[in-house]
A and B are shown apart, each in its own frame.
Chain A
């Protein structure tokens, strides 16, 4: 349980409308979290006081004097705040270095997503610039050559293909035949899906089939490369 949920449940606890399960969870959290426990105590004392007084409070003896005291306290705090805000202007680097980089969860998540996007873009650009190993699939699907996702997938497939080729010498003839037979089956599925997509580029079923066939191909290569 997090503190936010806990503090919402504290109200129910004090009102007596909390469920048994929630109460158990809440009490477990309160034993571990001093802040929340302090909130519960404050709230309980306020509600307790209100219940005792039942809406009838004694007026202070000198109401005007009380307000004056409050105003004096508030005014006394203002110069201090003003002084704190009027600190000398610092350079950009100074401000940057002096800044405390505390991010909220959404800010942190956004930053992570931004970094991932940037890295992905950079990878795609790098892959597009590098010369790719041409697999049979790329030859079949000339229409997809400019698709960065397709290219990246082909790079990964070609990497595993090379690893398989290196290890093939150790396999028995039966294992080699099995691999070739299964690779042929998958390549046929890929080729069929690519042909269908050439005829109807927005066909969802063919897209699904192409993706699944390519994933199957990758899995086959990865599993056989371990042999």
Chain B
């Protein structure tokens, strides 16, 4: 009895091919369909505080000209939960707590559009963080392990950017009385600020890779190139930069 594929009628063979090809084409889409998508809007005050604690994935925060937050998320795993909580003055998303005890819930990529005066407090275990166009009291970006941090066009009185492996880029300005802290174990830290910035600097790099460029002056004290302290202008804001292995670079806008 002939049962081999080649012995089938041509029309059946064509149909089997067509179904196989369709299944092969559908496989990438089926992965996409396994993802969850979340999109929500929250009416808020202008100076709202946003706290986001992610486990893995990219976080993008940008400002827009509306008194509301738009939160979009792509959730890789079906079992992961994202439960934003809104109060009078804040919006809190804590992926870590929402999924405690569930093990690895895969990547969750967030995009937040927020009022320009929002205070931003972001944490993730791993993944990149991008924040742009914020003018507020706080911008904090903390990556527990590896991930780049990019803070662009930021005017906040307190800025904290920390990771273990990855680059940190800050483009913005230092406010009078503000505090700015940048720290990485393995990655480059680049700070791009206006030429007339005034600040008190403590920069430490055991690898002796500190480039102050236009901001260097003779009042700086250097401990054999590993730590540089001193004032630029009247030292009205406080800047601390620590890098264990990478380069610290100050650039003029």
Interface of chain B residues 163 through 180 with chain A (CB within 8 A): 164-165
Known: A182-B164, A227-B125. A192 touches B144 (CB 8 A): no
B227 close to A208 (CB less than 8 A) = yes
Chain B residues positioned under 8 Å from A216 (CB to CB): 164, 185
- A57-65, A86-94, A173-181: which one contacts chain B? A173-181
Partner of B144, one of A172, A181, A189, A223: A223
- Across the A-B interface, how many residue pairs have beta carbons closer than 8 Å? 73
Interface size on A, residues (CB 8 A): 28
Chain A 196-207, CB-CB to B under 8 Å as 1, else 0, gives 100000001110
Complex contact B104–A170 (CB within 8 A) = yes
User: Contacts A175-B104, A226-B96 hold; do A185 and B206 have CB atoms under 8 A apart?
Assistant: no
- CA of A170 to CA of B186, assembled, Å: 27
B204 at the interface (CB under 8 A from A): yes
The B208-246 residues at the A interface (CB cut-off 8 A) are 223, 226-227, 242, 244-245
A186 and B55 in contact (CB under 8 A), knowing A170-B103, A192-B206? Answer: no
Chain A residues contacting B164 (CB-CB under 8 Å) are 182, 185-186, 216, 220
Closest to B125 in A: A223
Q: Judge whether B56 and A208 touch: CB under 8 Å.
A: no
| B residues in contact with A189, CB < 8 Å | 185, 244-245
B145 within 8 A of A: yes
- Roughly how many angstroms separate A205 CA and B210 CA in the complex, as a whole number? 14
Interface residues of B in 119-173 (CB under 8 A from A): 125-126, 144-146, 164-165
- In the complex, the answer to whether B226 meets A179 with C-beta atoms within 8 Å is no
* Given A178-B126, A185-B186, A189-B185, A220-B145 contact (CB < 8 Å): yes
| Residue of B104, B106, B244 with most partner-chain A CB within 10 A | B244
Contacts A181-B165, A185-B185; A205 near B227 (Cβ below 8 A):
yes
Question: Is the Cβ of A171 less than 8 Å from the Cβ of B165?
Answer: no
A193 within 8 A of B: yes
Is B49 engaged at the interface, CB distance under 8 Å to the other chain?
Answer: no
Partner of B165, one of A170, A185, A223: A185
Q: 25 A-B pairs, CB-CB below 8 angstroms?
A: A175-B56, A175-B104, A181-B145, A182-B145, A182-B185, A185-B164, A185-B165, A185-B245, A186-B164, A186-B185, A204-B223, A204-B227, A205-B223, A205-B227, A206-B206, A208-B242, A209-B206, A209-B244, A213-B244, A216-B164, A219-B144, A223-B125, A224-B125, A227-B55, A227-B104
Residues of B within 8 A of A (CB): 55-56, 96, 100, 103-104, 106, 125-126, 144-146, 164-165, 183, 185-186, 204, 206, 223, 226-227, 242, 244-245
Q: Given A171-B104, A220-B164, 15 more contacts at CB 8 Å?
A: A178-B126, A178-B146, A182-B146, A182-B165, A186-B164, A186-B185, A205-B227, A208-B242, A212-B242, A216-B185, A223-B144, A223-B145, A226-B100, A227-B103, A227-B104
